[in-house]
Structure 1
Amino acid sequence: MSPAKSSSPVQLTAANTGALPRVLLLAICVVYGLVGLFGRDPWKNEDAAGFGVMWQLASGGTQDWLMPNIAGRPFGEDGPLVFWVGGLMIKLFGGWLGAPDASRLSTLLFYFATCAFVWYATYLLGRRDEVQPFAYAFGGQPDARDYGRALADGALLILLACVGLAMRGHETTPQVGQVSFIAMMLYGLVRSLDKPVQGSLWVGLALGALCLSSGPILPIALFVAAIVAGAVCKPVPLRKLLTIGLPLALAIVGAWLAATYFGAAERDEAVSFIREWTRYDRRNYGGPSSQSLGFIARNFFLFSWPVWPIAAWAWFSWRGMRRAAHIALPLSLLLLLFLLLVSQRQAGDVQFILLLPPMAVLAAFALPTLTRGAINAIDWFALLLFTIFGGTVWFLWIAKTTGWPPKIANNVFRQLPGFQHSFTISAVICALIVTACWVLVVRWRLSRAPKQIWRPVVISAAGTTLMWVIAMTLWLPSINYGKTYRDVAQAAALALPPTYQCVQPIRMGNAQLASFAYFGHIRFGGPNDGCDILLRHDAVDYGAPSNLSHYEWRLIWEGRRPADRDERFRMYRLVEAPPVVAPPHPTRPRRLPRQP
């Protein structure tokens, strides 16, 4: 028995590393990834904004591909790579699926890539000598390949079990691409342990793609994390990473910057776009604020349940081997990502998913060390949580459909004023099937009592899939009605005069601008375009805009989304002011001469 193996806290037999049934694992991954992508509109806020950029690329020209924008407004918050993939999907499949559904094919590609990189990174780490279970004198310990595959199955289940991944992982945002490239970088670091050149190429490709899908700070921070991991974990080939990975990343980023600069119609516009892209990161990361820290404290632990307590247990249980690759590599990326998260001036849960790949890989190595009490606690908590959630969803849907109990039904419709409920048999059948599958998985888990190391997260992953599928089947029309701008955008388009020059948006966010441009086919312009229509977004009525010489702004339309009481849109048209007529001066009555 090698010294590395003797320090392992894991004592398992071959029976504990049996592979999860491939059909079950693939079914969970495919169903989880597909459901919720199609048959809906872009939702406020980040989802609609991301779609707006993709749609602009697909319907625009070369300048739009080099410098992404929404209806002419530059979008420099993130790099263009994720939008390129979404725009390409719209071009290829938009005529068949429609632009919104086609754009989310890019989300599906990034989702499957993330799952693959997480699985293979954990598999390669699980095959290493230092993590192998205790070797018994008469044999019986698991084979390295079987052990690695069992750990990889557990890592994938842990990733899918995260509660917050359901919504954020199905949107057309740059973050779905960023999380995939973070998983790619982690895989590259792991691959470099036994194949330094190949692993360094993966790391360079991931860093370059990450920079093109976000900003410069995130890839710089992860490269620093790789250097820290190399200093802590000696097998990491730092020299290869510096001589192969870093030049490749710089070449990828430099190619886009050069294409943007030399391919732009106006060099000043290209320079301004690139400068804005680099400045956004500096404005976004400026040190923690009490508001952002409070938001993280309230939401992060629920968002990342159950991965964060399992990952914390992995760090504790492997306390004698924290410099080993299976702890040092994911932990280094995780710490730098968390440092960036708390450094944001305005935190949002869309950034939380970036931490999930390294956290899931780290958590996978806690599975062989969990005590029976911890396993039972995770199982029963997930069983109770998702059973209650599923029952509640079904109960509310029955109340909405049948009107009984009337008080519950009225409360549901009060949240969605104007919504017309319709019964869809296919959605009900899908929800019944996934509910039956949930019952079968729970019955199999509790009756068979499997001994494999992935058993603590089967119910959690199946429960998250149940939660997402029944929400996206029974409640998809209701959710879509409450989160889309389709109706209000089409109403605004009908109020436009037959001939108008352009519409200037005032205080409209990226999601609103994208939705009004797509659903209403509204032709927007900038402040210097001399638009004769103003479309203003206000929380309260501030009155009509200031009049111009001989012209005035006349209110022609006012509306809002029925499910949102905090926003209101007002449309004004520039019309010629009526001439001001001076009031006639009062005339004094003539005094008649006095009669003699």
Structure 2
Amino acid sequence: MLTYLPPSERETLPPPSDKPWLLLMLCVFWVFPGLVGHDPWKPGELETAAVIGRFLSGQHWSLPFFGEQPHLIAGPLYYWSASLLAWPLSKLGMQVHDAARLVTGAWTALAMWGVGLAGRELFGRRQGRVCVMVLIGSIGLIVWGHHLAPPIVTLTAFSWLAYALAYARRQPLQAGLLLGLVWLVLIAGSNLGQLGLAVLMAVAVGAVGPWRRLAYLVTLLAALVVAVPVGAIWLIDLARFDPAAFAHWLRLFALGPYDGLGHLALFGSAGYVLSLVLWFAWPALPLACWGLWSNRAELRTQPRLILPATMAALGLLWLLLAGDVRESDLLVLLPSLALLAGAGIDRLRRGAAAALNWFGVMTFGIGASLLWFGWLVLHLGVPASWSLALQEASPAYRLSWHFGGLLLAVLMTVVWCSVLLRKRSLGRQAVTNWACGVTLIWGVLIGLWQPWLDASKSYRDVALSLRQALDQQVPGCVAGEVSTSMLASLDYFASIRLRSGPAAEECPLVLRQGTPPPGSWVRWEGQRAGENREHFYLIELADRE
């Protein structure tokens, strides 16, 4: 029977020896799978790849752009960093999107480092690694931590924001320089809405506890000196290079989930946020709630609780008030929730820790077993009906044995089984096993199923087929009325730039999505293998010959 024991009566395990390389190895196993070896997927990767391709071909540095339109959902910092890495690696034969996606891994690793440093600064030695484990185990981070898209910059910025504010208690000036870099990253890599949230967090923390002193003003002033002049360079250059694009960004995208100054979105996503955060931040959210409850007597006096609690409360309030929240916007919550979870993990009741541990081991163990079983069914053809169903789900996939992915899946499975045998305090064991379970599922999924998934998600064949068809037509422009994903794919894979608006009136060819109208002169039509909802066709307009 599981019962609660006070800390004084609990079994005391010997102090663990410092083995930071084990945590480093787990982070590597979590980060690396899925970064290379597949084409850009929806959502967001296709547009990001197209923007990076444009930067590599000479697009002006301050304006993210693809097709015939600016892409200003986020600042250009992620695209710059991805282009800087993709340029030399593409010269060595690596695909641009694979090389660029490695930058996501770098930003994710920086976020883990920032959370670890913040945890150590707030709670002491060996505590930072627990916070990193909670962050790694968060379900919502799995996709965005491996995605070719700018939102990962947000996670990194708020992770280092927590460390900068915690560090300000000891070194106000150095922390101010670091805080300025965080604000600069948000200006150039995210949006003014998230920058405003980060500034609000810094100001709110300065009104309470040990931050409420004159030295903290040095931190804020140093941050302003670093962030504002440098960050303004991008905005000023964008306004001078393309005033229309700058005005469009300011009106519709500048404030992130609040849209822009010309269309302020409020109070439209509270229900969506509350339903999404329950799984997106699992298990960080319930562990953070326990961290607050178990330390409630110290909540108003201890800096280690005041900082993450303030950040979490303001972050959640900021999301609830917004009117156009996307899933990636919830990344602002994960660093503070991971830190709050670290505050209560050693006080976790035995029954709760055992339940979390059992649930994680069973869930991820069964999940990995199903992935292995499905892969064997697909490749061995037994039973035949199940194998046929899996083949029909991704008809473009050609059965083959990818030994690199198979080796990765075997290695991840063996390592996970060995981790289960290690002994540590029950709360830490539950968190560690959960993080390792998430890593196992992701590693096995990518190792075994990435080629199958890529065959069903890639737009490469459709774009190249259209390119081949256009090469056989009379030279001329092409107008377009297709999805953003297809528009980006045509730009990235086939260098096809569709015209729209008044510039499209002179084009003899039009690419559309759906069903060709009766009597139209269809020059080409196509779709992704197995895709029934997106059908594209190219028609020739006789009156424009």
TM-score in same-fold range (> 0.5): yes
The secondary structure found in structure 2 opposite 1:366 is helix
Partners of 1:577 and 1:111 lie apart in 2 by 51
1:504 paired residue number:
479
Deviation of the 1:287 alpha carbon: 2.5
Aligned residues of 1:209 and 1:252 also touching (Cα < 8 A)? no
Partners of 1:557 and 1:297 lie apart in 2 by 45
Partners of 2:474 and 2:249 lie apart in 1 by 32
Aligned residues of 1:67 and 1:260 also touching (Cα < 8 A)? yes
Q: Give the counterpart of 2:209 among 233, 236, 240.
A: 233
Q: Give the counterpart of 1:386 among 334, 340, 364.
A: 364
Amino acid at match of 1:562: A
What does 1:72-87 align with in structure 2 at a 5 Å threshold? 72-87=68-83
Partners of 1:79 and 1:17 lie apart in 2 by 46
Say whether 1:182 aligns with 2:158. yes
Aligned residues of 1:560 and 1:569 also touching (Cα < 8 A)? yes
Say whether 1:411 aligns with 2:389. yes
Deviation of the 1:270 alpha carbon: 4.8
Amino acid at match of 1:48: L
The secondary structure found in structure 1 opposite 2:37 is coil
Amino acid at match of 1:108: G
Say whether 1:537 aligns with 2:513. yes
1:140 paired residue number:
none
1:585 paired residue number:
none
Partners of 2:162 and 2:216 lie apart in 1 by 14
Say whether 1:209 aligns with 2:205. no
Deviation of the 1:271 alpha carbon: 4.8
Aligned residues of 1:150 and 1:453 also touching (Cα < 8 A)? no
Aligned residues of 2:191 and 2:255 also touching (Cα < 8 A)? no
Q: Give the counterpart of 2:134 among 154, 158, 161.
A: 158
Aligned residues of 2:394 and 2:453 also touching (Cα < 8 A)? no
Q: For the structure 1 residues 257 and 13, does the alpha-carbon distance in structure 2 shift closer, same or farther, using more than 3 Å as the test?
A: farther
Amino acid at match of 1:500: P
2:26 paired residue number:
28
What does 1:261-410 align with in structure 2 at a 5 Å threshold? 261-262=239-240, 264=241, 267=243, 270-272=246-248, 275-278=251-254, 282-283=258-259, 286-289=265-268, 292-323=269-300, 324-410=302-388
TM-score, normalization by structure 2: 0.90
Deviations 1:415-443 (A, max 9, x none): 2234322122222122111111111111x
What does 1:551-590 align with in structure 2 at a 5 Å threshold? 554-576=521-543
Deviation of the 1:199 alpha carbon: 0.8
Aligned residues of 1:554 and 1:572 also touching (Cα < 8 A)? yes
Cα-Cα RMSD: 2.5
Which stretch of the first structure deviates more once superposed, 561-570 or 154-163?
Answer: 561-570
The secondary structure found in structure 2 opposite 1:504 is strand
Aligned residues of 1:537 and 1:567 also touching (Cα < 8 A)? yes
Amino acid at match of 1:402: L
Say whether 1:89 aligns with 2:67. no
Deviation of the 1:172 alpha carbon: 1.5
Amino acid at match of 2:107: F
Q: For the structure 1 residues 296 and 396, does the alpha-carbon distance in structure 2 shift closer, same or farther, using more than 3 Å as the test?
A: farther
Partners of 2:41 and 2:86 lie apart in 1 by 17
1:68 paired residue number:
64
Deviation of the 1:113 alpha carbon: 0.7
Deviations 1:34-53 (A, max 9, x none): 11101111101212222221
Computing the radius of gyration over CA atoms, which structure comes out larger, 1 or 2?
1
The secondary structure found in structure 2 opposite 1:234 is helix
Amino acid at match of 2:312: L
Deviation of the 1:215 alpha carbon: 1.3
Amino acid at match of 2:298: M
1:103 paired residue number:
100
Aligned residues of 1:378 and 1:456 also touching (Cα < 8 A)? yes
Aligned residues of 1:210 and 1:218 also touching (Cα < 8 A)? yes
Say whether 1:123 aligns with 2:90. no
Aligned residues of 2:36 and 2:98 also touching (Cα < 8 A)? yes
Partners of 2:85 and 2:49 lie apart in 1 by 11
Aligned residues of 2:350 and 2:427 also touching (Cα < 8 A)? no
Q: Give the counterpart of 1:460 among 431, 434, 437.
A: 434
Deviation of the 1:273 alpha carbon: 5.0
Amino acid at match of 2:62: L
2:109 paired residue number:
112
2:443 paired residue number:
469
Partners of 1:295 and 1:273 lie apart in 2 by 25
Partners of 2:143 and 2:51 lie apart in 1 by 20
Partners of 2:245 and 2:126 lie apart in 1 by 53
Aligned residues of 2:392 and 2:530 also touching (Cα < 8 A)? no
2:3 paired residue number:
none
Q: Gaps (5+ residues) in structure 2?
A: 1-5
Q: For the structure 1 residues 19 and 261, does the alpha-carbon distance in structure 2 shift closer, same or farther, using more than 3 Å as the test?
A: farther
Partners of 2:537 and 2:275 lie apart in 1 by 35
Partners of 2:296 and 2:233 lie apart in 1 by 44
Deviation of the 1:233 alpha carbon: 2.6
Partners of 2:512 and 2:256 lie apart in 1 by 25
Partners of 1:193 and 1:87 lie apart in 2 by 37
Q: How many residues align?
A: 529
Partners of 2:319 and 2:146 lie apart in 1 by 21
Partners of 1:42 and 1:316 lie apart in 2 by 43
Partners of 2:192 and 2:544 lie apart in 1 by 51
Partners of 1:458 and 1:268 lie apart in 2 by 50
Q: For the structure 1 residues 526 and 239, does the alpha-carbon distance in structure 2 shift closer, same or farther, using more than 3 Å as the test?
A: same
Q: For the structure 1 residues 273 and 308, does the alpha-carbon distance in structure 2 shift closer, same or farther, using more than 3 Å as the test?
A: closer
Deviations 1:251-277 (A, max 9, x none): 222121223334x2x555555555554
Partners of 1:397 and 1:13 lie apart in 2 by 43
Partners of 2:295 and 2:319 lie apart in 1 by 26
Partners of 1:41 and 1:418 lie apart in 2 by 14
Deviation of the 1:370 alpha carbon: 0.9
2:462 paired residue number:
488
Aligned residues of 1:288 and 1:345 also touching (Cα < 8 A)? yes
Deviation of the 1:553 alpha carbon: 6.3
Deviation of the 1:159 alpha carbon: 0.9
Q: For the structure 1 residues 505 and 344, does the alpha-carbon distance in structure 2 shift closer, same or farther, using more than 3 Å as the test?
A: farther
Amino acid at match of 1:354: V
Deviations 1:380-419 (A, max 9, x none): 1110000010011011111111111223223322322343
Deviation of the 1:293 alpha carbon: 4.3
1:517 paired residue number:
491
1:587 paired residue number:
none
Amino acid at match of 1:558: E
Partners of 1:241 and 1:20 lie apart in 2 by 33
Partners of 2:135 and 2:305 lie apart in 1 by 17
